Homo-oligomer: A and B are copies of this chain.
Amino acid sequence: MELIPGGTLITATPEEGRQLAMMLARKSIGAIQPDAAVRDSLRPTYSHDPDSLTAAAHVVAIEFATIAAANKYWRKKS
């Protein structure tokens, strides 16, 4: 299984970096619970629990911090 789609942390834009952050978090879950049917069965509960949603957003924020640093924050060269 691939944990980092594309195999790199470098993205063209912040938006793509953010999408990658979400994918990294999902791939971690997929590696720990490889059964897609189980993961799907958990989704209704999880996506209706505000604390579960916040916890997921937390992981995305941390993955994004790493990706943003890797990309030197996509600062414009001057």
Contact = CB atoms under 8 A, between A and B. Distances in A.
Interface residues of A, number: 53
A24 to B, nearest CB: 7
Chain A, interface SS category: helix
Given A45-B50, A53-B32, A9 B74 contact: yes
Contacts of A62: 58, 61-62, 65
Q: How many copies does the complex hold?
A: 6
A68 B59 CA distance: 16
Interface of A: 2-4, 7-10, 13-15, 18-19, 22, 24-25, 27-29, 31-33, 38, 42-43, 45-66, 68-70, 73-76
A70 to B, nearest CB: 4
